Structure 1
């Protein structure tokens, strides 16, 4: 074994020992589109979570992709929260979903940048009704998947935040209490948006990593994006708080912003 490999193994073991002292973890996991080749990886990841005693998890899916709907088979008895943007769902049976995907989700005008395939098609309202019947929760991800901090109009903010939840409730006949703001970083939300979110929803989910044990602020629910292509050991490292230190400042700023 090379010196570099030995050093890497030593550092990994030392890090694992330090993380083990941090105690139990309550993590909220973010998925987006699940490609067909990732479905087995998803099952393997969920199997790892099933046997983990130190990590409690909540599964969430953002954006409203049809591939997320298909992934429920891998969830088995787990219940998830699906955050959707109604304007994306409205395009499920039209050709206009591709335009929405590029301009609102990828935020690019280069239509060649991403190979469009089934994984990134929107779910339909009927798909969401099936999710509700199976016991999953549906949350709002704004009306058009916009960056809330860039909106200057109070009326437009209310349309994106309140209007989206009201429309989902009307279409699905189910209470919508959960909200996740698009892009999830500290620069994608501001105090004005938070005030409206707190008027309409019981919880707000971010895209900032962190342990939710001891987090009493329901409007700063930390979440961990997971890349299914990474080794399970690396995913475990993340869910044990391996990179939480990097987001300390963002968590503090967001907690203050949400008050």
Structure 2
């Protein structure tokens, strides 16, 4: 792969090769601009690739068609998928409850908020276990003392970072806490709608950056955020969106970039 290719693309390819994965679902519209060529390379290596494209803008009818086509390709139906969606509702509800305990009561750490919200992408492969463990954590959180009220209240926007574990703990060691994790919260589907198609039309990540900006602006005000960290992955086209965020958000913004370092460098620590 070229040196200026995103590490995530290289990582996905490496995992497919190392773990003998034979089928991969590739999101060709609404995520990464490199996915189409990655898909071609995976075909070359003998993998079965299934393309999936979000509509270019939120549209329940078009989303319904895309999901029906995907269900048919996978040998299932949207009725079955909706039954699973119903089973996941209680786990998503708990994740959003944890989010509220983070920004309202200050009982959940920045890292815990990130980890449990980002995990709603696949519920760590076992949503029953996820639900049980999160219930236990929420009970523990209610016994905690809240975070100091004079700490800076930060928002984290952009894709989850490669050095997230180090970042959140470093922020809190310097009297700042993240009370809004944008994309991680979107994984929990905060606006589920009345159907699977509505849910994925309300999900902001695959669509225009202005859809995200509207959601972000609302949450910044609601959560009384003092400043914003915008994370961009090195060599990612989404980094250009920093121009729009800096124009549209009326708070101080610090843009951080990451590639394949799992820990904060001294340079990044100094900038923070």
Say yes or no: TM over 0.5.
Answer: no
TM-score (normalised: structure 2): 0.28
TM-score by length of 1: 0.29
**The structure with more helix, counted as a fraction of residues:** 2
